[in-house]
Chains A and B, each alone.
Chain A
Amino acid sequence: MNIFESLGKLVNESGFAMMMTGDGWKNLVMILIACVLLYLGIKKQYEPLLMVGIAMGCLLANASALGGFSNALYHQELWDSFLNESSEYYHDYGHILAQGGLIDILYIGVKAGVYPCLIFIGIGAMTDFGPLISNPTSLLLGAAAQFGVFLAFFGATFLGFNGNEAASIGIIGGADGPTAILTTTKLAPHLLGPIAVAAYSYMALIPMIQPPLMMALTTKKERAVKMEQLRQVSKTEKILFPIVVAIFVILLLPSTAPLIGCLMFGNLLKETGVTERLSDVAQNALMNIVTLFLGISVGATMVGSNFLNWETIWIVVLGLVAFGCSTIGGLLVGKLMYKLSGGKINPLIGSAGVSAVPMAARVSQKVGQKENPSNFLLMHAMGPNVAGVIGSAIAAGFLMSMFGG
Chain B
Amino acid sequence: MLFITPAAAEGAAQAAQTVVKKGEMLSAGTAFVDSLLGYLVVFIGLTLLMLVIMLVGKIMVASAKKKVTKVVETAVPAVPAHPAAPAVKKELAPGSAGDIKLYDTDPRDAAMIMAIVANKLGKPLNELRFISIREVK
Q: A70-B4, A232-B97, A252-B45 are in contact. Are A140 and B9 (CB under 8 A)?
A: no
Q: Does A391 contact B (CB under 8 A)?
A: yes
The reply to whether A80 and B18 contact each other, CB–CB distance below 8 Å, is yes
Say yes or no for B70: interface residue by CB 8 A criterion: no
Whether A89 lies near B22 (C-beta < 8 A) is no
Q: Is the CB of B15 within 8 A of A77?
A: yes
Is A76 interfacial (CB-CB < 8 Å)?
A: yes
Quick check: is A83 within 8 A (CB to CB) of the other chain?
A: yes
Provided the pairs A70-B4, A80-B20, A188-B21 are in contact, do residues A149 and B57 lie with their beta carbons within 8 angstroms?
no
Is A164 close to B, CB under 8 A? yes
Assess whether B39 is in contact with A150, with CB atoms less than 8 Å apart: yes
**B35 at the binding interface (Cβ < 8 Å):** yes
Task: Knowing A244-B52, A394-B41, A395-B38 are in contact, say whether A139-B97 is a contact too (CB < 8 A).
Answer: no
Out of B43, B51, B64, name the residue touching A143 (CB < 8 Å).
B43
CB contact list, A33-48 vs B, under 8 A: none
Contacts of A143 in B (CB 8 A): 42-43, 45-47
Q: How far is the CA of A71 from the CA of B9 in the complex (A)?
A: 12
- Contact yes or no, B38 A402, CB < 8 A: yes
Instruction: Please tell me which one of the listed residues B20, B36, B48, B49 contacts residue A83 in the complex, with CB atoms under 8 A apart.
Output: B20
Q: Mask for A129-147, Cβ within 8 A of B = 1, else 0?
A: 0001110110110111011
Contact of B26 with A157 in the complex, beta carbons under 8 Å: yes
- Residues of B contacting A28 in the complex (Cβ-Cβ under 8 angstroms): none
A276 interface hit (Cβ, 8 Å): no
A99's closest neighbor in chain B, by CB?
B4
Q: Say whether A252 contacts B22, CB under 8 Å.
A: no
By the criterion CB–CB under 8 Å, are A241 and B20 in contact?
no
B78 within 8 A of A: no
A215 at the interface (CB under 8 A from B): no
Q: What's the minimum C-beta distance from B38 to chain A, rounded to whole angstroms?
A: 5
B54 contacts A by Cβ under 8 Å:
yes
Q: Given A99-B2, A163-B26, A81–B57 Cβ distance below 8 Å?
A: no
Check: A18 CB closer than 8 A to any chain B CB.
no
Residues of B within 8 A of A137 (CB): 50
For the complex, give the distance between the alpha carbons of A227 and B120 in Å: 31
B100 in the interface, Cβ–Cβ < 8 Å?
no
Interface of A is mostly: helix
Distance A147 CA – B129 CA, assembled complex (angstroms): 38
Q: Mark A103-146, 1 if CB is under 8 A from B, else 0.
A: 00000000000000000000000000000111011011011101
CA–CA, A140 and B42, complex, Å: 9
Among A47-101, those with CB < 8 Å from B are: 69-71, 75-78, 80-81, 83-84, 86-87, 89, 99, 101
Q: Which residues from 353 to 405 on chain A have a C-beta closer than 8 Å to any C-beta of chain B?
A: 387, 390-391, 394-395, 398-399, 402-403, 405
In whole angstroms, what is the CA distance A97 to B61 when docked?
55
A69 touching B46, Cβ below 8 Å: no
Q: Mark A183-205, 1 if CB is under 8 A from B, else 0.
A: 00001111000000000000000
Judged by a CB distance under 8 angstroms, whether A253 is at the interface is yes
Chain B residues positioned under 8 Å from A163 (CB to CB): 23-26, 31, 34
Give the shortest distance, in Å, between A156 (CB) and chain B (any CB): 8
Query: Does B116 sit at the interface, judged by CB under 8 A?
Result: no
Q: Is the CB of B2 within 8 A of A70?
A: yes
Question: Is A151 at the interface (CB under 8 A from chain B)?
Answer: yes
Cβ-defined contact, A234 with B64, below 8 A: yes
B53 at the interface (CB under 8 A from A): yes
A240 within 8 A of B: yes
Residue contact A165 to B23, C-beta cutoff 8 Å: yes
- Chain B residue with Cβ nearest A237: B60
For window 201-236 of A, CB contacts with B under 8 Å fall at 229, 231-232, 234, 236
Whether a CB of chain B sits under 8 angstroms from the CB of A4 is no
Using a CB–CB distance below 8 Å, which chain A residues touch chain B? 69-71, 75-78, 80-81, 83-84, 86-87, 89, 99, 101, 132-134, 136-137, 139-140, 142-144, 146-147, 149-151, 153-154, 157-158, 160, 162-166, 187-190, 229, 231-232, 234, 236-237, 240-241, 244-245, 248-249, 252-253, 387, 390-391, 394-395, 398-399, 402-403, 405
A-B contact sample (16 more), CB < 8 A, given A143-B46, A150-B39: A77-B9, A80-B16, A80-B20, A89-B15, A99-B2, A140-B47, A143-B42, A150-B38, A162-B23, A163-B24, A163-B31, A164-B21, A244-B52, A249-B49, A390-B46, A395-B38
10 contacts between A and B (CB under 8 A): A132-B53, A140-B46, A143-B42, A143-B47, A150-B36, A162-B21, A189-B20, A190-B21, A394-B41, A395-B42
Q: Which residues of B contact A (CB under 8 A)?
A: 2-4, 8-9, 11-13, 15-16, 18-26, 28, 31-32, 34-39, 41-43, 45-54, 56-57, 60-61, 64, 97, 129
List the 10 closest A-B pairs by CB distance, nearest first: A164-B23, A81-B15, A162-B23, A77-B12, A150-B35, A157-B31, A143-B46, A83-B20, A77-B16, A136-B53
